[in-house]
Structure 1
Amino acid sequence: MKNRIAQFALLFVLFSAVSFAQDKGIFQKNGIAINGYDPVAYFTESKPVEGQEAYSWTWNDAKWLFSSSANLEAFKANPEKYVPQFGGYCAYGVSENHKSPTDPNAWTIVDQKLYLNYSKKVKELWSKDVPTRIQKANEYWPTLNKAN
């Protein structure tokens, strides 16, 4: 019985460490930021474009993929210009004080900043009052970003 409790405790600690290591404030799956989509393409092509392993770069403890060497170089020169707000977590979710994953096809650029949302339906909710949502999300993000 004690051995089984020790095993569960060890699994819990390992799972917690893995979860923490993958978070780091950037939405990522398997260490790849924003579902492997090219953050620069939202600005240059006005659409989501899948990145390629050949054009990858690690920034802020996440691997970012790009669709071209030009986009990779643009990101390297100024990551803050292209990185999605709230680490790529759902902007609507952050405005409701929680982190949620995102759909690369549910996006908006406001004042030259990229915002991603959980789904197109959630993006519709977000779009009803973008200024208030951004204000609320900006208030909640510092605390959410510190929490796992």
Structure 2
Amino acid sequence: MRVNFLGAVAIASLLTLGTVACGTNTAVDSGSGVSQEAANPCAAANPCAGKNPCAAANPCAAANPCAGAKAETAATQQPEVYSYKSLAIRGADPVAYFTEGKAVKGVADYEYTWNGATWRFSSAENLAKFTADPEAFAPQYGGYCAKAVSEGNLASIDPEAWSIVDNKLYLNYSAGVQRQWQADVPGNIAKGDQNWPTVLAEAALHESGKSW
């Protein structure tokens, strides 16, 4: 039985990460924007008196302490590229991660449709670079959260939670989830590679619904 992503990955916006080791691999460049995590109802204190509130079956009757306010999307075949309101990376310029070392918002004047999603760029030069070789700049796992994919799940991303490893772009759900992913970058990449792309047909998508 697949474990709910919110319990397995400890989504930073819903669960406290506690003490999480951050990767120190110098080959990883990471985005910033760390935010304070919320209290974790699935930590040491068990809200269900001996039962596991994070299990796939809900032992807490109607109230699931591990679920967010927004329900997860049903587990149906998901698109190859994650997009929010049709925009890949929530409208961030994929090329800028490599050329400027930060998340940069693209603009409607420079758009390109590829793999079923609309990609935006901050300049005509970046648009030209992407159209010449999209796979060189597009994020791994179709832009879904890298940590979620490593666990056999699917989740949306925060454009500020990014890493470039071996000249490949990886995105994560939040700064907190990225720290978890960075704790074992090679291992999480290996697991993600193994789960991709079959996870598209096997997992529900957790969407934060946050604009950027």
Q: Percent identity?
A: 49
- Paired letter, 1:90: C
Aligned to 2:118: 63
Instruction: Provide the rounded CA distance (Å) in 2 between the counterparts of 1:132 and 1:102.
Output: 20
Q: Which of residues 79, 97, 100 is equivalent to 2:155? A: 100
Instruction: Provide the rounded CA distance (Å) in 1 between the counterparts of 2:147 and 2:194.
Output: 13
1:121 equivalent to 2:176? Answer yes
SS at match of 1:97: coil
Aligned to 2:198: 143
1:52 equivalent to 2:111? Answer no
Aligned to 1:43: 98
Relative CO higher for 1 or 2, CA cutoff 8 Å, sep ≥ 6? 2
Judging by fraction of residues, say which structure has more helix: 1
Instruction: Provide the rounded CA distance (Å) in 1 between the counterparts of 2:161 and 2:106.
Output: 17
Instruction: Provide the rounded CA distance (Å) in 1 between the counterparts of 2:175 and 2:121.
Output: 23
Aligned to 1:132: 187
- Paired letter, 1:89: Y
Query: What does the per-residue CA deviation read over 1:45-97, in whole Å, with 9 as the maximum and x for residues that have no partner?
Result: 00000000000000011000000000000000000000000000000000010
Instruction: State the 1:146 CA deviation.
Output: 4.1
Instruction: Provide the rounded CA distance (Å) in 2 between the counterparts of 1:118 and 1:60.
Output: 21
SS at match of 1:73: helix
Instruction: State the 1:30 CA deviation.
Output: 1.5
- Paired letter, 2:83: Q
Instruction: State the 1:145 CA deviation.
Output: 2.9
Write out the 4+ residue segments of structure 1 that deviate beyond 6 Å after TM superposition: none
**Structure 2, unaligned runs of 5 or more:** 1-73, 205-212
Contact 2:141 2:197 in 1 (8 A): no
* RMSD over aligned Cα atoms: 1.7
TM-score of the superposed pair, with normalisation by structure 2 = 0.59
Aligned to 2:66: none
Instruction: Provide the rounded CA distance (Å) in 2 between the counterparts of 1:106 and 1:29.
Output: 16
Query: What does the per-residue CA deviation read over 1:115-135, in whole Å, with 9 as the maximum and x for residues that have no partner?
Result: 000000001001110000000
Q: Which of residues 105, 117, 136 is equivalent to 1:81? A: 136
Instruction: Provide the rounded CA distance (Å) in 2 between the counterparts of 1:96 and 1:146.
Output: 14
